[in-house]
């Protein structure tokens, strides 16, 4: 597994993110089906324990940010494999930095990628547009057929699409190609953990469930 890190102010370490300028294009909105519930959890490339941990991180971070930031701030917290992505708007650079510090202190957080911008709070129409773009992106990944959709977590902020997940380099490149062709996408920002093909095979083998014995039925009450 490979992760690249760069030093930033204060000696902190951040995962390197790849920014790809989006190609504007006309892509139809085709809504496809997606697996949900226990099936999605089983197919997720994180352990079930890590998935629960990520949900707890998001809840704790959001609560602390609500308490620690002013009403001039709007934020979204996304955690994947204990890597926390902050998006939204802050009233000042000081507040933006404070948001990062608050998130960093949350239990079990491995790293914080602070993508909050010092801008006025986004409008309801802007957020609705981001939601539409996220839907388009997920649909495009499903329709691509050769992309393991559940391996990616998609976040959209001000038309910028953030891709999180544990994927191979080939998967990252293919998904980027698909996403940047979606209408409305300004940039594709990859916050991905790159794994090897051998690691992927090991994950798939671990997640595979053996078929039930022939003739096996449901136990009686």
For residue 80, give the nearest of 129, 125, 104, 47 by alpha carbon.
47
Alpha carbons within 13 angstroms on the beta-carbon side of residue 14 total: 16
In angstroms, the CA 15 to CA 165 distance is 13
- Cβ–Cβ under 8 Å, residues 82 and 54: yes
Strands 152-157 and 117-118: unpaired
Q: Quote the pTM value.
A: 0.77
In a domain, 212, yes or no: no
Residue 22 is predicted with a pLDDT of: 42
Question: Which domain does 169 fall in, by range?
Answer: 5-32+39-207
* CA dist., res. 47 & res. 171, Å (int): 20
pLDDT in tens, 140-155: 999 999 999 999 999 9
- On whether residue 193 sits in a domain, the answer given is yes
On whether residue 216 sits in a domain, the answer given is no
Number of structural domains found in the chain: 1
Answer whether residue 56 shows pLDDT above 70: yes
Residue 181 forms part of a structural domain? yes
Asked whether residue 195 is domain-assigned, the answer is yes
Residue with structure tokens 């996304």? 78
The closest alpha carbon to 104, from 73, 136, 64, 152, belongs to: 64
Tokens of 10: 């204060």
Determine the Cα–Cα distance for residues 56 and 61; give it in Å rounded to an integer: 8
Contact call for residues 179 and 188 (beta carbons, < 8 A): yes
Q: Is residue 219 part of a domain?
A: no
221 in any annotated domain = no
DSSP-based three-state secondary structure for 211: coil
Give tens-digit pLDDT for 164-188.
Answer: 999 999 999 999 999 999 999 999 9
- pLDDT interval class at 82 (50, 70, 90): very high
Residue 213: inside a domain: no
* Mean pLDDT of all residues belonging to the chain: 83
């Amino acid at each position: 597994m490979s992760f690249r890190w760069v030093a930033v102010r204060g000696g902190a370490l951040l995962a390197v993110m790849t920014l790809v300028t989006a190609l504007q294009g006309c892509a139809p909105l085709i809504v496809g089906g997606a697996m949900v519930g226990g099936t999605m959890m089983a197919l997720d490339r994180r352990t079930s324990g890590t998935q629960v941990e990520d949900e707890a991180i998001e809840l704790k971070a959001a609560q602390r940010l609500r308490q620690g930031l002013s009403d001039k701030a709007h934020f979204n917290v996304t955690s994947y494999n204990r890597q926390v992505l902050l998006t939204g708007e802050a009233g000042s650079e000081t507040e933006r930095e404070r948001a990062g510090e608050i998130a960093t202190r949350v239990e079990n957080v491995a790293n914080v990628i602070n993508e909050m911008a010092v801008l006025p709070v986004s409008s309801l129409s802007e957020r609705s547009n981001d939601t539409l773009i996220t839907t388009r992106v997920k649909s495009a990944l499903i329709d691509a057929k050769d992309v393991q959709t559940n391996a990616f977590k998609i976040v959209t902020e001000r038309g910028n699409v953030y891709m999180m997940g544990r994927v191979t380099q080939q998967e990252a490149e293919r998904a980027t190609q698909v996403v940047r062709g979606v209408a409305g996408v300004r940039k594709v920002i990859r916050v991905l953990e790159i794994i090897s093909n051998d690691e992927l095979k090991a994950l798939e083998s671990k997640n595979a469930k053996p078929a039930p014995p022939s003739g096996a039925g449901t136990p009686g009450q």
